Amino acid sequence: MTDGKLLKPKTIDSIRDVVIIEPLQKIVLNHKQYTFMKSKFVFLTKWGTNYTQSSNIVKNIWRPTLKVLGIRFRKFIK
């Protein structure tokens, strides 16, 4: 994502497969039913637009979810 636009990655090494455990797959697919008609993205802002920076997803979705679950936030490993 650059300047709010989804672009092809610069290199083939930038493309990654992410393994998602089955229970989480079910949750994400269930959530997708609420956003599918609005966007190809799973998570949308409260205005119905896609997030343009991963830091906003962490701040607005990931951290609050962990807090509700009682799980301490840790930085992602790059």
* Token pair 């119905």: residue: 48
Domain presence at residue 59: yes
Is 50 contained in some domain? yes
With respect to residue 54, please indicate whether it lies within any of the assigned structural domains: yes
Q: Is residue 10 part of a domain?
A: no
Predicted model pTM: 0.48
**Cβ(58)–Cβ(48) below 8 Å:** no
Distance of CA 58 to the CA centre of its chain: 8
Question: Could you tell me the residue range of the domain that residue 59 belongs to?
Answer: 19-69
In a domain, 11, yes or no: no
What string of pLDDT tens digits covers the 78 residues of the chain? Answer: 667 677 888 888 888 888 889 998 898 888 877 776 677 777 778 888 887 777 888 888 889 999 999 999 988 775
What does the alpha-carbon distance between residue 44 and residue 22 come to, in Å, rounded to a whole number? 22
Question: Is 33 a member of any domain?
Answer: yes
The answer to whether residue 5 sits within a structural domain is no
